[in-house]
Amino acid sequence: MKEKLIECFKTLIQFDTTSDPDSSTYPSTEVQMDFAEVMAGELMKAGIMDIDIDEYGYVTGTLPGNTDGPVIGFISHMDTSPDCSGFGIRPMIIENYDGNVIKRTGAPLSPDEFPELKLYTGKTIICSDGTTLLGADDKAGCAEILTALSYLAEHTEIKHPTVKVAFTPDEEIGAGVDHFDVEKFGCDFAYTVDGGILGEISYENFNAARAKIDIRGKSVHPGSAKGLMVNAALIGCEINSMLPQNETPADTEGYEGFYHLTKMSGNVENAHLDYIIRDFDRESFEKRKRNIENIVSSLNNKYGKDTISIDLYDEYYNMAEVIKEHSYVPDRAIKAIEKAGVKPLVEPIRGGTDGARLSFMGLPCPNIFTGGYNFHGPYEFICVESMEKAVETIINIVKG
């Protein structure tokens, strides 16, 4: 199984499937629709039936059951993060890792900077050459689902209910299930295979909103600007200075929320800021949104009406609100992880998954681990033995 899993993963990461948050199409990039055809072919090779690619790029299929039981779904996303290049990924496979610095074309992977590397001494690690991300988020999940379902299709003696699979586009830009048809998918519950470290299972995630702020300034010659110039770029800096400076991703952990400036551009006449706003607690989440709206309002009072405009909208909510009514779903996964000989790690997701929104769409959908670290950048790596345990966990969930 190990070699099959590695080859599947290596095949999938050859395709650049970066999503684009500024696109008006769905999927946001044409390459994702092309990759949907690749995934359909992989499902066919795995022995999956009723394979379909719809107009939005969702790839679905069915492994028919041979015994009674709930219809269970597994979901992973096809796109990779726009935060780092996903083009021309050159994987490095380090067998029997010695615990030392991994030298690469790009920045090295050092256990001094990333101590968790030491946990995988003697194991097989996959990383990129340091010039791109690796794509384990979430092509590791895709490969693990494909490998697990292929195993079940080959081993017909294993009793299992009907299993559904879906591969989604645009998860990385918060649009993964914008057009997902839960009723057509036809599952009683599902799991996203989109998590991190070995044994992790998550059924809590951030409440999430996005704020897009545009600032209109007034440009005049700096030699005669007194009382006339309105510098949009400086107002952008002022907005950011008015937010809590210790409530950023770099300063928070666990259940702590944050404001995250993801993009800033501009000049004297016009400036633009993008923020994501995150908090586990719904009340605190609403306070954060009001805070940023109040900042905009106060600066409009200072610089003139309509100097600043804000587009503030919610992206997803904490799935814990839904999962608490369906505790048997995470319980089944916890039991499956234990059967794989792994200690379950029940952790909140400091982010979101397709499962967060699906849970509110009527499909309870916790998230299980893939085995990776440092997603969305060139320091990403994954342990193959952890990937094998993810495959084993998926099989155990199906067997019940």
Q: What CA–CA distance (Å, rounded) separates 391 from 375?
A: 20
Q: What CA–CA distance (Å, rounded) separates 210 from 52?
A: 32
Three-state SS string over 324-367 comes to CCCCHHHHHHHHHHHHCCCCCEECCECCCCHHHHHHHCCCCCCE
Instruction: Read off the amino acid at residue 90.
Output: R
Q: What CA–CA distance (Å, rounded) separates 72 from 356?
A: 17
Contact 165, 42 (CB under 8 A): no
Query: Is residue 323 helix, strand or coil?
Result: helix
Q: What CA–CA distance (Å, rounded) separates 370 from 381?
A: 11
Contact 100, 111 (CB under 8 A): yes
Known catalytic membership, residue 321 = no
Catalytic residue selected from 20, 137, 170, 171? 171
Contact 376, 82 (CB under 8 A): no
Using CB atoms within 10 Å of the CB of residue 24, give its burial: 0 to 12 exposed, 13 to 18 middle, 19+ buried. Answer: exposed
Q: What CA–CA distance (Å, rounded) separates 243 from 247?
A: 8
Known catalytic membership, residue 183 = no
Task: For 74, list phi and psi in degrees, rounded to 5.
Answer: -130, 135
Q: Is 119 left (phi over 0), alpha (psi -120 to 50) or beta?
A: alpha
The string of DSSP letters for 359-393 reads HHTT----EE---EESTTSTT-EEEHHHHHHHHHH
Query: CA angle at residue 128 from 125 to 130, to 5 degrees?
Result: 125
Contact 2, 388 (CB under 8 A): yes
Reported as type and span, the H/E element at residue 44 is helix 30-45
Tokens of 341: 């000989």
Place of tokens 């899993």: 5
Catalytic residue selected from 16, 79, 138, 354? 79
Cα 71 → chain centroid: 24
Q: What CA–CA distance (Å, rounded) separates 129 from 116?
A: 19
Contact 86, 78 (CB under 8 A): no
Residues labelled catalytic: 79, 171
